[in-house]
Structure 1
């Protein structure tokens, strides 16, 4: 255990070139905290929002919300983890792009031996997002139909498998035939290449004009209005990301005209703020993976010092599945 750790920080917001890698002090955990030595870190679109300033941070600041590793020290009052435990997390505060850190323990979860550190780093944020989308935002049941944008991404590929495991029809969108096939291979019922087809018309065709029960949309501005037009009356629009830009203000009267539609903008961090709920959600995810119902697709891996390249590829939509940074 060293006193310093390689750490990615930003001192200004902007493009991937703002990243700096430094050796920074780690310290010891206080009450309710743990020190964790990372084996791998997860890369997610929220990291882009932090880096670019869409979600402001007090600078300078670390980046990254997700990692896996081994517990090196435990602060007073922490009972669910001990030194030497394998662990994984997706939680605040940002700062996961590092070799080791001290952080609040409540959202750090014991990682089962059957799940690798690489999978642990790739699955927590995206997998628990799928858990709340399917079970806590609108409890879905067998026979329901959902539209999932970016179905070949990290969240999307987990969602495809999750839907199949529960008898839910998932219609997905992606930007190439290869990405569409990847999502189909992971359990999507139907896929739409939005470069070739109007996804609204195709969804209506696939649902015999009815529309879907739920839309799960992390793309944001570019797909928002079309997503509303894919819903059945009284359907639910779940807007949970802004990959193409922030959704503009919504005229609530429009929701009535389109069929008394419902809309919500949830975040994972609201759901996992409670320690017990967080651990329950993680265990549900671990059970899905351990049973074989969900396989974590790590589409690409970059060493920590290639973090700028990883962000460029993510923003250019060159990635599929989950992305990790290795140490």
Structure 2
């Protein structure tokens, strides 16, 4: 019998339940997948708390890797036995197996283990669009990255290094600072000890950076704006501390004709051709060993409550996965 994590009301980690489920056969355009590893992302907590609305009851999770077991009518790009990974699909990845739309799947190269795929598909594709789609960046450019020791942060700094981009990262502890440096972060700011914007100005001869990549949200928004150079861009791609405040257009003008964008991964992988291009570049870097995906936390799916408590408390470093 298949099992899955589900929730019937929004709230804290304790609302997550581990229960037996009926999976059934795939319908037209669908596949049935047996999961080998499941990814955990901070965004999962947004669905659980209700920040991202979901019809209840609901499954949990949007990222996993595994093997196709059956395909429904009309599915031509995938066959039983195919190794696949996915992200951004309907909720339900926290499960031993599931039926889902085939359109969300990505073929997984043999060179990449299932656990690695589950730990990097969302984070890696996020990094891919941040560095390759948001604003053209060239070798020698300097950017500010919040949460530099997080799952996206560790991939981002390695990829930026390959492109010759200098990264100033923020972290909360000396332990995380060491990890960020080890993965290519050029300068690390402990936001618990230093004023981030002031330090960024010092590191950039008073100019500020052309782009800030901010996955924290509410508590870092003002600091991010104050770290930008004239006509700089703030990329708010996450809200770990809560949503960003309402944008004051006049404030953007006063601070240097700044820009703010709130991108979502779904809009950068909606087109199959673009998704394949972004995934292909990511997979090639990982397969070649140019980007190392470190899994720092592993849990069983029946331990999802503890996993959510860990990630919300800030104890997690890098990527976390559920193993089956």
The TM-score range, normalised by the shorter chain, is over 0.9
Supply the distance in 2 between the matched residues of 1:205 and 1:78 (Cα, whole angstroms): 56
Match status 1:241 vs 2:238: yes
Equivalent residue, structure 2, for 1:91? 88
Instruction: Select which of 273, 278, 283 maps to 2:280.
Output: 283
In the other structure, the counterpart of 2:114 is 117
CA contact (8 A) 1:107 1:272 kept: no
Corresponding residue of 1:26: 23
How many pairs were matched up? 324
Cα distance in 2 between the residues matched to 1:214 and 1:154: 20
Question: Helix, strand or coil: the match of 1:178?
Answer: helix
Partners in 1 of 2:91 and 2:275 — Cα distance?
17
2:76 counterpart of 1:67: no
TM-score, normalised to structure 1, is 0.97
For residue 307 of structure 1, the aligned residue among 289, 304, 308 is 304
Q: Mind listing any 5+ residue stretches in structure 1 that lack a counterpart?
A: none
Give secondary structure in 2 for the equivalent of 1:103. Answer: strand
Once structures 1 and 2 are overlaid, which stretch shifts more, 304-313 or 135-144? Answer: 135-144
Question: Which residue of the partner structure matches residue 148 of structure 2?
Answer: 151
Cα shift at 1:92 = 2.1
Please report the RMSD computed on the Cα atoms of aligned residues, expressed in angstroms: 0.9
Counterpart CA distance in 1 for 2:233 and 2:70 is: 44
Match of 2:33 in 1: 36
Aligned to 2:12: 15
The whole-number CA distance in structure 1 between the counterparts of 2:143 and 2:280 is 24
| Deviations 1:282-316 (CA, angstroms, capped at 9, x unpaired) | 11110111122211011100111110000000000
Matches within 5 A, 1:1-327: 4-327=1-324
Equivalent position SS for 1:296:
coil
C-alpha deviation, 1:76, in angstroms:
2.6
SS in 2 for 1:106: helix
